[in-house]
Amino acid sequence: MKLLIIRHGDPDYTIDSLTEKGRREAVLLSQRIAPMNIAAYYVSPLGRAQRTAEFTLGACGRTAQTLDWMREFDCNIPAPDTGEYRIPWDMLPASWTSIPAYYDKDAWCDVPVMAQVGMRDAIAQVHEGLDKLLAQHGYVREGNIYRAVRPNTDTIALFCHFGVECVMLGHLLGISPMVLWHGFIAAPTSVTTVCTEERREGIASFRVTAFGDVSHLYVHDEPPAFSGRFCEMFSNTEERHD
């Protein structure tokens, strides 16, 4: 089975929708995804993901199931320097890299700033939602692997958000989301492909074969949006620092 984890197009967060660029990106994405043989479509309830999916669904005459656990991961934490509540993947490198627990796939939730906002419960909701979905498609989690009760080569598409994408990947791969949140970036409308591998009958694991692919943009000379990234150099005042 293949999972296509798709980030929404360039966002206008003020209205929870897409910018004009985001709409162009979503059209180009639809030209890539709509012709594919997709077994099922799933989408976050948030507007920017819904708007992105609409272009693909309209092009192929399909519908998607909206899943609340796929909404952007909004368990915000207080920033160490200001106390302002912010998304956990916007932490300054110096604020988290010095704490070894953040690199541990289990212990990171117990760092005090995470524990005080109920991070473990919030993460569990995504894990449980993902495992329920995979079970519906024939793969049941047992420990750190999946039992292939109905092995298949279906492809399912999930239109969602960068933050929750990293939570899903962390669960499938056994990696702390902190490492994924801060060490990777999935540009708007990027496609991450995750495949099952069943090297022994009935025992499956997941492997990423492509992360954050935006080839559908490059082929049409549409540059990826900067959303989710920070400045390449501190002296660059046109790109965000915080």
Does pLDDT of 242 surpass 80? no
Q: What is the pLDDT of residue 230?
A: 87
Does pLDDT of 80 surpass 90? no
> What is the amino acid identity at position 107?
A
Q: What is the pLDDT of residue 196?
A: 98
CA-to-CA distance for 36 and 147, rounded, in angstroms?
26
Tokens 């954050």, located at residue: 212
The token pair that represents 46 in the structure block: 């948030």
DSSP 194: E
pLDDT tens per residue across span 130-155: 999 999 999 999 999 999 999 999 99
Q: Name which residue leads in pLDDT, 92 or 44.
A: 44
Entry pTM:
0.96
| Mean residue pLDDT across the chain | 96
Q: What is the pLDDT of residue 110?
A: 96
Closest CA to 7 of 231, 211, 218: 211
Does pLDDT of 86 surpass 80? yes
pLDDT tens per residue across span 109-132: 999 999 999 999 999 999 999 999
Does pLDDT of 34 surpass 90? yes
Contacts of 164 (CB under 8 A, 6+ apart): 44, 69, 70, 71, 72, 73, 126
Q: What is the pLDDT of residue 145?
A: 97
Does pLDDT of 237 surpass 90? no
Residues 99-109 have a mean pLDDT of: 97
Q: What is the pLDDT of residue 12?
A: 97
Residues 45-59 have a mean pLDDT of: 98
Closest CA to 169 of 153, 190, 148, 152: 190
> What is the amino acid identity at position 218?
Y
Can you tell me whether residue 120 is helix, strand or coil?
helix
Does pLDDT of 238 surpass 90? no
Q: What is the pLDDT of residue 181?
A: 97
pLDDT tens per residue across span 158-214: 999 999 999 999 999 999 999 999 999 999 999 999 999 999 999 999 999 999 999
Q: What is the pLDDT of residue 240?
A: 80
Q: Are 185 and 229 in contact (CB under 8 A)?
A: yes
> What is the amino acid identity at position 200?
R
Q: What is the pLDDT of residue 177?
A: 98
